[in-house]
Structures are given as structure tokens and as C-alpha cells.
Amino acid sequence: MLILTRKIGESIMVGDQVRVVVVEVKGRQVRLGVEAPGDTKIYRGEIFERIQEENRRASQVPADALSKVSSLWSRIRSGGGGDAG
């Protein structure tokens, strides 16, 4: 991890297009401003971690789920109806 010391109004560059500016320091809190292209996604660390965890959970498909979907799709295509129950 790179650790830098910055004062209010000073900034760091991340790559060529992202600037992080120290806007304010109050006690143990630091307010940062981020200047980046509009298509750059910026998340607070804890939010990003929750998104990643949700993506991991969403990608875990139960072992029999694909088989059930395939079977249902075959029945629908053959005119057997779509009642999954």
C-alpha cells in the first residue's frame, strides 16, 4: 500500500484521469473530492465490498437449478406448458 501525506487542497493522481483532493479534515474524518471521467465508477470501500459479496452470492447457482431450467424450457418448447410445480 502506498501511503502519502497531503494537506487540505492538495491532491494525488490515480492514472491519467482521476484526481483525489483533500477537501477538509475534521478530527478523525477526512473529506475527499474525486475528479474522474463520467463513466468511471467510484464507490466507498465498504459499499464496493458489499457489491462484490452480492455478486458472488448471485453467481452461485444451486447444482440442480440449471437442470430444472433446462427441463422446463424443453417442456415449454414442446408445448407441454410452463407449470414448474
For the segment 34-74, what is each residue's pLDDT rounded down to a tens digit? 999 999 999 999 999 999 999 998 888 777 887 888 888 89
The maximal CA–CA distance of the chain, rounded, in angstroms, is 70
How many C-alpha atoms does 13 have within 13 Å on its Cβ side?
3
Task: Determine the Cα–Cα distance for residues 40 and 63; give it in Å rounded to an integer.
Answer: 36
Q: Do 16 and 10 touch, CB atoms closer than 8 A?
A: no
| Highest mean pLDDT pick, 11-15, 54-58, 79-83 | 11-15
Q: Model pTM greater than 0.95?
A: no
For the segment 16-34, what is each residue's pLDDT rounded down to a tens digit? 999 999 999 999 999 999 9
